[in-house]
Chain A
Amino acid sequence: MSGTAAAGHALDLRGLTRRYGTFTAVRGVSLRVERGQFLTLLGPSGSGKTTILMMVAGFVPPSEGQVLLDGADITPLPPERRHFGMVFQGYALFPHMTVAENVVFPLRVRGLGRAERDGKVRAALDLVQLSPFAERRPAQLSGGQQQRVALARALVFDPALLLLDEPLSALDKKLRAELQDELKALHRRVGRTFVNVTHDQDEALSLSDRVAILNHGRLVQFGAPAELYERPRTSFVADFLGKSNFLRGTVRGAQGGAAVLEAGATRIAQALPDGAALPSGAAALLSLRPEKIAVLAEGEGADTVVGGRIAAWSYLGADFALDVRTDDLGTLRVVLPSWRAPIRPAEGMAVRLGWTADAAVPVEEDAAA
């Protein structure tokens, strides 16, 4: 753990495909992670995340495609020759060994000398703050501590990549948030390339430099967290990463980076960034985040304004969550900061909602969604 920045390696996946009989678990996944980046594979259960990780680790041979490390094809290498650290789902700590013996295992099978081993094990245990527990068995540790042992064991031999399969999913909510921060700090400190698998969108957003969103074995979208959140390509991405309202309308007049959509009597002003085009007369689907909708005060205006009644609401401390029923756009979810909110919500209350032309983004409808 020499802790030098950018000590990580770049990982390339090229057209990775894995079939089980006639069933295709992973379908043509290509992406690139730069040195020292934190990549998260995000998707619902069964979307092929673990299968991709296992192909990177070398446990599952791809049916098609390649895994490249710094440009070199490592697809035929067995797992023990790849030198990747791995934290398994459920940790897979060796129950017959103490914490220290677990952590020294990768060094021992590599035939390192005793002095070198001891130094590295001590450093790894210090890194995850487990030195006082070195002589305990895994069964005598809490879930969070076991997770840290698994991390120390995976990092102790300076792996080229660290692979993590749902490392936090077995923990309760509070601990998960704590370890999420620790994991992020750890990534900063060791400067390695991390590949993390999760189905938790908050974890993906807060930890990652890059997120790959998977559905039914396909890569749906790949990019930085903010990019995916602000500009989801499809309705699946918009819905899976955060909450989203979906607005349907017919395009009336699109020109110069702006369009007007018509939904019943409501006219929606929509900006079109990056030269995106919406053909006039076609049906379009917009994704609109709940926190980007404002509740308008008396006489206040916006690019798009729509009236409705509060069908349901709840107080979340920092925010109010409102479900506002409208005539033309269905029920819209609105998140309203509760500090100095312009209204005191009540069921049946009439409200005017508004948003700017750049608040919503046009998305494709997923075939399977």
Chain B
Amino acid sequence: MNALRRDAGWWALLLPAFLLMTVLYVAPIVQVLAISVTEPQPGFGNYERLLTNAGVQRVIGTTLRVCAMTTALALLLGYALSYVIALARPAVQRYWLLVVLVPLWISVLVRAFAWVTLLRQQGLVNQGLQAVGLVDEPLRLVWNEFGIVVGMVHYMVPYAVLPMLAGMREIDPRLLAAARGLGASRRAAFLRVFLPLSLPGLVAAGVLVFIFSLGFYITPAILGGGKTLMAAEWIKLQILDLVRWGMGTMLATVLVVAILATLVLFSRVVDLNRLFGGARA
């Protein structure tokens, strides 16, 4: 009884936040969903375009390809980084963490333009490559998928590191010593002991980065230069420039459903509570 009343108290505390969320967040999403089946005329006409319209299909294809590449590269870099940090001495660990986290405090806009400056035709990278004589013509490094992936990986690496590092820190370092003592080479100890034990963190990081990448707007917009379109920019184009609300909200809905589906799928594999920083049950 007492517990019941206490519970009711907690719910009362949550009520304002709950109302705010409903009004500002859930309601617009429901409205977006509604528009996608009412504009320009009621029905599933907009969703039919998913199957018939080559433009929509190309955007979805580009989005999936870029997100998959971004996730793969961010995981690879992030894993190596996490591994080094997890096995470093505590004093050294703090510096590494700072190095990983600092980019998070720099505006995503600033970082995107910095990459444009570096990667454009007369940018530092092309100049360097030409000076060394590796290439004759400047390479097209930006305003295409390559540029987008570079910018997105740079943004995502910290988000890949954090869940993986959390997982690796729970691995008892004595297990690696035990593996060596039992006859495993460094490589075998890593492959048979460390890697399997770090797998949950790796999967968690993958889900986090992939979902995050799906909705990316600023980085692809700037580094894609309007030539390579991804889902978020395409939606903005439909709604603000072409005033085709139905099409824009349709893809937005598809995006939301895709994200939720990914989450549901992976909640069966990993503990989502842990992925989003909660304590282990």
Contact = CB atoms under 8 A, between A and B. Distances in A.
A95 B197 contact: yes
Interface string A55-92: 00111000000000000000000111001111010101
Contacts, number: 58
Contacts of A57: 181
A18 interface: no
A105 B182 contact: yes
Interface residues of A, number: 24
A154 B182 contact: yes
Contacts of A105: 179, 182, 184, 192
A88 B177 contact: yes
Contacts of B175: 92, 94-95
Nearest to A86: B181
A206 to B, nearest CB: 26
B197 A109 contact: no
A86 B197 contact: no
A49 interface: no
Interface residues of B, number: 17
B183 interface: yes
Nearest to B188: A109
Interface string A140-184: 000000000000011001000000000000000000000000000
User: Interface SS of chain A: helix, strand, loop or mixed?
Assistant: mixed
A181 B179 CA distance: 28
Contacts of B181: 57-59, 79-80, 84, 86, 88
Interface string B140-178: 000000000000000000000000000000001011011
Contact of B177 (A84, A92, A153, A157): A92
Nearest to A81: B183
Contact of B180 (A79, A85, A153): A79
A86 B179 CA distance: 10
Contact of A80 (B172, B180, B193, B197): B180
B41 interface: no
Given A86-B178, A88-B178, A109-B188, A94 B183 contact: no
Given A80-B185, A109-B188, A109-B192, A92 B178 contact: yes
Contacts of B177: 59, 79, 88, 92
A59 B172 CA distance: 16
A11 to B, nearest CB: 16
B184 A80 contact: yes
Interface of A: 57-59, 78-80, 83-86, 88, 90, 92, 94-96, 105-106, 108-110, 153-154, 157
Closest 4 CB pairs of A and B: A92-B178, A106-B182, A86-B181, A109-B184
Interface of B: 172, 174-175, 177-185, 188, 192-193, 196-197
Given A94-B178, A109-B183, A153-B182, 6 more contacts: A78-B180, A86-B182, A92-B174, A92-B178, A105-B182, A109-B188
23 contacts: A57-B181, A58-B181, A59-B181, A78-B180, A79-B180, A80-B185, A84-B181, A86-B178, A86-B181, A88-B174, A90-B174, A92-B172, A92-B174, A92-B175, A94-B175, A94-B178, A94-B179, A95-B197, A105-B192, A108-B192, A109-B179, A109-B182, A153-B182
